[in-house]
Structure 1
Amino acid sequence: MKRGFEIVSKYNDQDLNVPYRTTNHAAGYDFESAVDMVIPSIWKSNFLKVLWSIKHEKAVDSTALEGAKKVLKPFLIPTGIKAYMQPDEVLIIANRSSNPLKRGLVIPNGIGVIDSDYYNNSANEGEIFVQILNFGISDIHIKKGERIGQGIFMPFLISDQDDDQKKQTRNGGFGSSGQ
C-alpha cells in the first residue's frame, strides 16, 4: 500500500465516502464533511462592535474582545478520514475553488499539511479535519456528505542538514509537533 484513505474507526458505521477525484485529470481528492454543522459568519455583533471601537480608537472591554476572538476562531469540520502515504510524502488539504467565491468559506492557514506520521499516531487515529472561516454575510449550513476541501498527495525534499536536526515522535493532532 503506497497511499490512500481509510475511514476512522468511530465513523465505521456512518456511511462515509473515502475521498475521490471527480474527473480523470483532477489533482485533488474531494473530502466530504462527516457531519451536519453550521459555520457562523464572522460578522456577528461582538466582532462588529470591536471593529468599530478599534476604528474609532475607543477602548474595547475584555468581554467584547473575547467574544470577537471566538467568532474569528476557525471551525474544524470533521471528515472521518485518515490518510496513509510514504514517509517522503505529504497530503496537502486545499480549499475547493467554489468555497470562497460562492460561499465565503476560506481555509485560514491557506493549506493544511498532513504528514505521513499523522496516520495512526499514538494519541489519535489521524482523523483529518478541514479548518474553515466563514467571511460571508450569513451562516453556512454544511451537510454530511458535502464536499468541503480537496487533498493532494505530493513528494517533498529535505535539506542536507536534516540528519543533524532534532526530531520528535508525533503523538497528537493540530500543533502536536510544536512546543
Structure 2
Amino acid sequence: MRKRGFEVVSTYLDKDIHLPIRQTSGSAGYDIEAAERTVIPSIWQKGVLQTLQQVQGLQSESVDEAAAQSADIKPVLVPTGIKVYMPENEYLQITCRSSNPLKRSLVLPNGVGIVDSDYYNNAENEGELFVQLLNFGFEDVTIEKGERIAQGIFLTYQKTDDDVDNGVTRQGGFGSSGQN
C-alpha cells in the first residue's frame, strides 16, 4: 500500500523528469528540480528602483504610478513536472534551498509553500507542483531544466477538538483552497 511519494504528471511523462530524492541519509528535504528552462527576472529591472524613486517624492500622482508599475513585480511559477501523494493528515512543505538566496539571489516570496493532500490529481492541473521564485538580485537568473530549486519536506498536522469538516472539495489547482 502506497503512503507518500512523487509521480510525474502526464504532460511531462516523456520529458526525462527526475523524481525528488534526498541527497544524504540525514537530509530532511527531497530536492525538487525545474521541469524546464525558466528565466526569473530581476525585481530591479521590473521597476523596483523607479517605484522607490517615485514614492520618495511623495506626490500622489507618483505613488499611483508607482503602484501601477509594481503590479509587474511578481514571482515566477517554475514548473516541476511532478505531483505528490500523501495521507490525509500530512502536507508537503516547500522550502527554499539554502544556496538560493546566497548564490543566486532567489527566494520563495511566501517563505514556505504548503501542498495539501487533496491537491493531488486535482482537475485543473493534475496536482503539478510549481515553485514560486522571486529574484532580488540585479541580473535576471536562468534556471535550467533539472536544476534543483527547492526542497519538499513531509509533515503531519493536528486538528482542533472542535474542527468541523465543511464538506468542501478542492476544485482547482495552484492557490485554490481559498479566495484570500
Report the TM-score range of the alignment, normalised by the length of the smaller protein.
Answer: over 0.9
Q: 1:1-179 residue pairs with structure 2 within 5 A? A: 1-44=2-45, 46-58=47-59, 59-60=61-62, 65-70=67-72, 72-163=73-164, 166-179=166-179
**1:48-94 Cα deviation digits (max 9, x unpaired):** 11110111213327565433221x21100000000000000000000
- Asked whether the equivalents of residues 55 and 66 of structure 2 are also in contact (C-alpha less than 8 Å), the reply is no
Matched AA of 2:97? R
Calculate the TM-score normalised by the size of structure 2.
0.93
Unaligned runs of 5+ in 2: none
Contact 1:82–1:128 (Cα < 8 Å) also in 2: yes
Query: In 1, are the aligned partners of 2:45 and 2:138 still within 8 Å (CA)?
Result: no
Paired residues of 1:34 and 1:79 also in contact (CA < 8 A): yes
* Letter of the 1:100 counterpart: P
User: How many residues were matched structurally?
Assistant: 177
> 2:127 & 2:99 partners in 1: Cα distance?
27
Q: Secondary structure at the match of 2:54?
A: helix
Q: What per-residue deviation string (whole Å, max 9, x for no partner) do you get for residues 134-175 of structure 1?
A: 001111010000000000001110111112x53410011222
Report runs of 4+ in structure 1 exceeding 4 Å deviation: 61-64
Shift of 1:124: 2.6
Following superposition, the deviation at residue 176 of structure 1 comes to 1.0
Query: TM-score with structure 1 length normalisation?
Result: 0.93
Structure 1, unmatched stretches of 5+, are none
- CA–CA distance in 1 between the matches of 2:114 and 2:161? 22
- Once the two structures are aligned, what percentage of the paired residues are identical? 54
Instruction: Give the CA deviation at 1:45.
Output: 5.8
Letter of the 1:60 counterpart:
S
